[in-house]
Amino acid sequence: MELERVRKEFAKCTVVPAYEIKDCYEEMLKMDDGVSLRTIIYKPDREGPLPTIVVRSCYPNNDYLYRATAKEYCRRGYSYIYQYCRGTGGSEGVWEPNVNERSDGKKTIDWIAEQEWTGNIGYWGCSYLSLTGWMIADILPEKVKTMYLTHYGTQRFVSVYQDGMFRHDVLTAWTMENAGYPVTADYLESCKYRPHVSVDEDVWGRKIPWYRDWITNTDREAEYWNTGFWKLLKDIPSRVKIPLYVGGGWYDHHLASAIETYRSLSEESKEKSRFLIGGWMHDFHIRLQDCEGTHFENDDILRAFNWFQELLEEEKTPKAAIDYYIIGADCWHRREKFELENQKHLCLYIANSVESTYALKESNDTQESMLSWKYDPDNPVMSHGAESLLATKEEQGSLLQPEPGYRDDVICCISEPFTESVTVFGKMQVVLTVASNVEDTAFVVKIMEVREDGKAYNMRTGITTLAYRNHSDRRKIYEPGDKVQITIDTWDLAWMIKKGSRLRIDLTSSDFPQYSLHSNYPGCWAEQKNVRVAVQQVYFGGYDESFIKIPII
């Protein structure tokens, strides 16, 4: 299927094949420490210097796709070079994610630029392949004119944590697949294992130090995230000078980090770079169950070729642009800057209702009220409709949600029908006045559009904890029973709520395995051995405001 997709996309290309493949050979390219990396080179029967595409990957199972893509580029006059990261795909050395990509990437790109047959160079990568590009984006030889980097962000902490809650379905799943040795343990049982800090030795059979670093450094201010490799990666965008194409999807698990990465680009790069966000997931597939469309434009293969053609062959300088797909409206919008000036907000307050659910109203009730539920970590609410999934990707995207009242520990609040269509752009935010009977716990929100037929489809989810409430960079103290106000941010979104639809928010305390399970004990989540039931309370009305704040255009 993926191979056919490559062929179909290139069949649409306006640049038709005009060359034969002259050379296809391999080099074992020696790095500075003597380790040699397997490097595959395709060249057309065209006089040089040749426009050249460079890819560095750790996924040898995709070799057939790299070769198919290389042939299509080669037939259109490009040389195409892909290399396997150390310890993968026939390259020497020991596989350790991330840490060798700067030195190995720099050595490789310099060697390619030194070849007399090499012309303008473009670097191409998606996901981890994008990471290998970002790691050298500020130390490129002059021949590299652009990089096309999708579905990754350099703000690593943002991809790993949300207010102290670890993204299991991305990071634990990826670790099990890329541990450097076969891991056959059950995935969900691995995520539930306590204390999780020893799951690698106890369940997977071998200690994995880099995974332990991820799961134990929960503070954004931790030295781990602000020194060494991750600090370097975070700082690189501010030093980039060349035009970049940065791509993401509204339901790609790297979106939040990608947005922060784009915002941190140097002005020199940003004024000639493009940032695009589509309606797709990490694999570019569309999973919007009730949003039909004809303008998804969700295949990146042809878009990448056209970008390289413009910058490498035609040697044009692009203009800055932000392109984003509006879900529900089935259209794209372009602007020069990501932030909106003088943006309006719609606030809907939690209120009592004569129905079995709670209401969302445009004004706060004068009467003080409270709603409550019990959260048991051993009986979690499972992720269904989400934006940060990888292993359980069948639950990713915008999906039909259960009816209100489907669980006692999920509290539902629903608005009146919208009298006109409203377009959301930006981060939706839920502000709650809460209390709990434990020193630390989690609060989760899911935001949905309810169609006129009563069916609800998720837009965004969000999570926070009492310890990291209001996006604290380090743990805070909470006294059980104290009433505090917390803010739950969602990721950015562009979505049109149609006239006649209602807005629904569900309040609960787990979203598993999108996020780790909170034990209801204070301290590092990965070191907890035991769990307990927490009683959660949300106050609204009177002086206690609990509401959703929606950015609209």
Q: How far is CA 118 from CA 142, 149, 243, 291, in A?
A: 12, 21, 20, 45
| Residue 388 counted as domain residue | yes
| Residue 352 counted as domain residue | yes
Task: Tell me the two tokens of residue 490.
Answer: 């969602």
| Inter-residue contact 161 to 220 (CB < 8 Å) | yes
Task: For residue 84, list its beta bridge partners.
Answer: 57
Domain match, 216 and 245 both: no
| Inter-residue contact 103 to 31 (CB < 8 Å) | yes
| Residue 334 counted as domain residue | no
Task: For residue 150, list its beta bridge partners.
Answer: 126, 247
Residue 453: CATH number of its domain: 2.60.120.260
Cα dihedral value 513, 516, 518, 524, nearest 10 = 170
| C-alpha span between 93 and 490 (Å, rounded) | 41
Domain match, 426 and 496 both: yes
> Percent helix, strand, coil in the chain (nearest 5)?
25, 35, 45
Domain match, 21 and 76 both: yes
Q: How many domains does the chain have?
A: 3
> Cα Rg for the chain, rounded, in angstroms?
25
Would you tell me the crossing angle of helices 2-11 and 300-308 to the nearest 10 degrees? 50
| C-alpha span between 410 and 121 (Å, rounded) | 53
| Residue 502 counted as domain residue | yes
Domain match, 179 and 113 both: no
| Inter-residue contact 136 to 112 (CB < 8 Å) | no
Domain match, 131 and 268 both: yes
Helices (H), 178-324: 187-192, 199, 209-216, 223-226, 228-235, 255-263, 267-270, 300-308
| Residue 331 counted as domain residue | no
Per DSSP, the chain holds a count of helices (H) and strands (E) of 14, 23
At 2 the pLDDT is 86
Q: What residue has token string 């590009």?
A: 133
State the CB neighbour count (10 A cutoff) for residue 34: 8
| Residue 383 counted as domain residue | yes
Per DSSP bridges, beta strands 274-281 and 321-326 are parallel
Residue range(s) defining the domain that contains residue 195: 162-223
Domain match, 273 and 422 both: no
Residue 130: CATH number of its domain: 3.40.50.1820
At 459 the pLDDT is 98
Domain match, 382 and 519 both: yes
Residue 502: its H or E element: strand 502-508
Burial state string for 371-399 with b = 16 or more CB within 10 A and e = fewer than 16: bebebebeebbebbbbbbbbbbbebbbbb
How many CA atoms, within 13 angstroms, populate the side-chain half-sphere of residue 169?
25
At 232 the pLDDT is 97
Amino acid code (one letter) for 409 = D
Q: List per-residue pLDDT tens for the chain, 553 residues long.
A: 789 999 999 999 999 999 999 999 999 999 999 999 999 999 999 998 999 999 999 999 999 999 999 999 999 999 999 999 999 999 999 999 999 999 999 999 999 999 999 999 999 999 999 999 999 999 999 999 999 999 999 999 999 999 999 999 999 999 999 998 999 999 999 999 999 999 999 999 999 999 999 999 999 999 999 999 999 999 999 999 999 999 999 999 999 999 999 999 999 999 999 999 999 999 999 999 998 899 999 989 999 999 999 999 999 999 999 999 999 999 999 998 887 777 899 999 999 998 888 999 999 988 899 999 999 999 999 999 999 999 999 999 999 999 999 999 999 999 999 999 999 999 999 999 999 999 999 999 999 999 999 999 999 999 999 999 999 999 999 999 999 999 999 999 999 999 999 999 999 999 999 999 999 999 999 999 999 999 999 999 998 999 999 999 8
Amino acid code (one letter) for 218 = T
Domain match, 252 and 214 both: no
Domain match, 354 and 271 both: no
What contacts 14, CB < 8 A, 6 or more positions away? none
Q: What residue has token string 């649409």?
A: 12
| Residue 35 counted as domain residue | yes
Domain-terminating residue out of 189, 223, 257: 223
| Inter-residue contact 185 to 176 (CB < 8 Å) | yes
What contacts 420, CB < 8 A, 6 or more positions away? 499
| Residue 371 counted as domain residue | yes
| C-alpha span between 448 and 458 (Å, rounded) | 4
Domain match, 366 and 499 both: yes
Domain match, 62 and 128 both: yes
| C-alpha span between 436 and 170 (Å, rounded) | 29
At 420 the pLDDT is 97
Is residue 321 helix, strand or coil? Answer: strand
Domain match, 490 and 450 both: yes
